[in-house]
Structure 1
Amino acid sequence: MRAFLFRILVVLAASIAPLHAQDALPDDDPHVPLLQGTLSAEGDQEASDAEVTARPFPRDSLLEPWFAWKQDVQERTGLTFGGSYGLLHQNYSDSLIDQQNSTGAKLTLNMAYELFRKGTPEALVVAVAVEDRRPMFGSDQPPLFAGFGAGSLVPTAATWGQFDLGVTQAYIRQNLFGNRFQYTVGKIFAPNFVNAYPFFDDNRQFLSQAFSTSPSIQSPLRGFGAVAAWYPTANGLYLQAGMYTSHSDDTGSTVDDFFNTSEHFYHFDIGWTGRPRAGLPIAARGPTDSDNIHVSGWYRNAQDDGTPKSHGVAFNVNRMVSERTMVFFRGGFSQGWAVEKTLAGGVGWRPTGQPSNLVGIGLGWADPAASVLRPQYTAEAFYRFHITRNLAITPDIQAVIDPSTNPDESVLWVFSLRARVTF
């Protein structure tokens, strides 16, 4: 019990992140924070708070006094905290496991605290996330597994899985030398850093993994690792590298695996980034890298259980083409992994007058390594709209064409409805 209470206290201390660090950069500074994705503990909270401060909304939230108090605590102490609760329902036009419907729930508590150099862009931040994910309302499988069961090669809801309440992230992070050097160490969610881009968050954006984390990368999930980024010049060029244990544990520790085994995942990125645009980013998240091009190389050691080594290359291009519109094009190639080749492209558009609302359309292709499986095509469209500043509803439709593991179907339709409240 004492260990559990300690975890909760640490989590509540880590959701408090410096929301002003990005704004402290000069307008012409190319050294964009790269290691604060929205599926990290503090990045998730920053994105939620960005949505809270955006206007206008159809009506005020009942939690307005709570948000004002949180902001006051953050300004006085350097502690940021909060959380979210989400529900996702998916309906499949066909399913190999005879589960036509699946509902999943996510509870997330985030915390971040500035240990040193409080109130500055170079603050040393400790961040923690506590999460709980499960199927709901009689569903046998949560959406992550039900989508596989329906016959899709890639998840139809990439992070909507199942595990009991526990610490899923706990790390330290710091930006140094005017953001020219950035690092994160601890228990982290590796897809935050591997070939990441602004539309990879299935809490707020696309649900299919065809448009979130690259299906061609055999990335670990939650485990101990370290990642660093460096800007060697002043024109936006950056280098980023990470090393993680190959062993994922949603709510447990993998420190021993990192230091006592040779089973690791490595990646190295080289890219160019443009300065984020003023105002609320197109993806309604905190530090959005609005104009980016990068190439990611990765390698995963062979495992003691006989799993062979794997490696590959992936790329990403995303760019703002107007004040409210971003386009993206991504792809990858691998050897030794289940998905051998992928391509995806799409657009995100922020409707006029509703700065947190978002429309997304994507088209993707995935080619499995197994020759007995056919290539799969995925089309997805969603519209996220806010009822209040902290309550968003997202209808979503996916057309999975030639689903790889459901050969009797030409089109697998996936209809989704997502609701998410932040607090």
Structure 2
Amino acid sequence: MRAPLIALAFCATAAVAHAQTPASQPADEAELSPYPELLETPLSTEGDMAEDERLAKAASNKPELQPWFAFKQRFEDRTGISFGGSYGVLAQSYSASLVDQDWAAGHKFTFNASAALLDRGRPNALYFDLTVEDRRPIFGSERAPLAAGVLAGSGVPTAATWGDFELGVTQAYLRQTLAGGRFQYTIGKVFAPNFVNPYPFFDDNRQFLNLAFSTSPTIAVPLRGAGAVAAVYPGTGSVYIKGGVFTANSNDTGWTVDDFFSRNERFYFVEVGSTSFARRPIPIHARGPMDANNFHVTFWYRDPLERRGPQDITRPQDEAYGVAFNINQMAGENIMWFVRGGLGTGGFAKVNLTVGMGYRPPERQADLFGLGVGWSDPDDAQLPQQLPVNLRDQTTLETFYRFALTPNVALTPAYQLIVNPSLNPNEDALSVFSIRARLAF
């Protein structure tokens, strides 16, 4: 009974907030709102398009594809529909591996579209967002980088979202901002890690690759499936509260609404934090809680998971729960530092702590340099069978530099040094060299 009650309360709150929103408020007032979009993240549909547009403008001294972007803007002005996409390729090599695969390569194709359904041009407009993706190994690689990094011995994936699934709809949801910017919600098929403990550098399409530097490896967060998220500003200051519920049964390209309502297997979270408005003209910025100066604490819980069939060796699993935190701050106009950590059960790690920084050269605003160090204590209690040895604590260092070759093409070499790889007790260190290329259109 919990899921229908949650859905009913969620819709009732949205209706009340909608009624309180001035219908005559002009669109340009939204740009002056002191409340940033807490749910607009780089891996969401609208966030992905906005970040590509921002990077293209930052490198706009070169003219490639600029007529194309101008056409898309005219199309959106006429129809209320915006669209865009990207194509990325990632290759990784491993100095050692538990299996006979010392390299891996994969690709990502992404198409995003967003349509204003109601109140177009107003701050309280209702949008429908859609993302279609395809991810798989390429160049004869036996496995995609997501799996290959773990099989090389790393206790956390060396390429957080570079997995393997065929073309399909990965996100499809409604979103809206109401009550003068104080209340925001998203409901539908969503990518849950977008909303759980995010920060400016968790996007492995453009920034760090290792999961140690994205959503905390202590959080047993599901991936793609039915869910709802809401965020509210309870006062006039910078404090916000954000919460959500998702099905714990992910499906990359399928629809999991039946699981959400018929199975008591869900993931819940509540986040409380303080956010600064990232709209200011600073070199490193993002939107919502992923802004220049942010502090938050995330509490989460996942229901127990039942076995889904005789071939399901990953279940049953006990309930999982934990807490995570994030602090990221600007140091001057070109450097952002961060400290993150968490405690939990059911994830890749029981405990983790991560520190790092990003630097954007003043003369090359679309470039980015990143450096991070993370420590994690693996959670071997979630493995399908007991191992003959205890898994070691793992330390991960990653550094990268993203070169903006044109306003629409970026090339990012990266290096990861994994000390005491948790899943490979025969190696003291694992080196991972990566090269990532991405075209935005």
Contact 2:116/2:128, CA 8 A, preserved across alignment: yes
1:384 to 398, 402, 407: 402
Q: 1:51 aligns with which of 55, 60, 66?
A: 55
**Residue 362 of structure 1 pairs with residue 368 of structure 2:** no
Change over 3 Å in CA distance of 1:24–1:336 after alignment to 2: closer
Q: 5+ unaligned residues in a row in structure 2: which ranges?
A: 1-25, 308-315, 381-388
Moved beyond 4 Å, runs of 4+: 20-23, 285-288
Change in Cα spacing, 1:226 to 1:358, as seen in structure 2 (3 Å) is: same
**Correspondence 1:35 to 2:39:** yes
| 1:141 alignment partner, one of 133, 140, 143 | 143
What is the alpha-carbon distance in structure 1 between the residues aligned to residue 181 and residue 28 of structure 2? 10
Match of 1:264 among 263, 266, 288: 266
Distance 1:139 1:22 in 2: 49
Residues 64, 25 of structure 1: alpha-carbon distance in 2 compared, 3 angstrom cutoff: closer
Contact 1:34 1:289 in 2 (8 A): no
SS, match of residue 44 in structure 1: helix
Cross-structure match for 1:322: 332
The number of residues matched between the two structures is: 399
The corresponding residue for 1:16 is: none
Percent identity of equivalent pairs: 51
Say which SS state the counterpart of residue 32 (structure 1) adopts: coil
Tell me the residue number matched to 1:332.
342
Q: Could you say if the C-alpha distance between residues 386 and 337 of structure 1 is closer, same or farther in structure 2, counting changes exceeding 3 Å?
A: closer
RMSD: 1.7
In structure 1, the residue matched to 2:63 is 60
User: Once the 2 structures are TM-superposed, how far is the Cα of residue 185 of structure 1 from its aligned partner?
Assistant: 0.1
1:187 alignment partner in structure 2 = 189
Report the more deviating stretch, 334-343 or 172-181. Answer: 334-343
| Equivalent in 308, 312, 316 of residue 318 of structure 2 | 308
What does the per-residue CA deviation read over 1:190-218, in whole Å, with 9 as the maximum and x for residues that have no partner?
A: 00000011111000000000001110000
What is the identity, as a one-letter code, of the residue corresponding to 1:383?
A: Y
TM-score by length of structure 1 reads: 0.91
Unaligned runs of 5+ in 1: 1-19
Query: Does 2:222 align with 1:220?
Result: yes
Amino acid at match of 2:241: L
Letter in 1 for 2:431: W
What pairs up with 1:114-263 in 2 under 5 angstroms?
A: 114-263=116-265
The aligned residue for residue 353 of structure 1 is 363
Partner of residue 372, structure 1: 390
- Say if 2:29 and 2:123, in contact at 8 Å, map to a contact too: no
Residues 322-364 of structure 1: CA distance to partner in whole angstroms, max 9, x if unpaired?
A: 1111111000001344410000011011112111111110010
1:121-160, Cα deviation, whole Å (9 max, x unpaired): 2211100000000101010001000000100000100000
CA distance in 1, matches of 2:29, 2:283: 12
Say if 1:282 and 1:350, in contact at 8 Å, map to a contact too.
Answer: yes
The CA deviation at 1:278 is: 2.1
What is the CA–CA distance in structure 2 between the aligned matches of 1:353 and 1:274, rounded to whole Å? Answer: 25
Paired amino acid for 2:218 = S
Q: Distance in 2 between matches of 1:417 and 1:21?
A: 41
Is the Cα contact below 8 Å between 1:238 and 1:270 reproduced in 2? yes
* Counterpart residue identity of residue 388, structure 1: T
Q: Which residue of 2 aligns with 1:25?
A: 31
Distance between the aligned counterparts of 2:282 and 2:258, measured in 1? Answer: 41
Distance in 1 separating the partners of 2:177 and 2:119: 11
Equivalent residue letter for 2:226: F
Give distance in 2, aligned partners of 1:280 and 1:202. 22
Partner of 1:94: 96
CA distance in 1, matches of 2:397, 2:327: 19
Deviation of 1:51 (Å): 1.3
Which sits farther off after the overlay, 286-295 or 346-355?
A: 286-295
Distance 1:352 1:266, change over 3 A: same
Matched letter for residue 341 of structure 2: G
Equivalent position of 2:411 in the other structure: 393
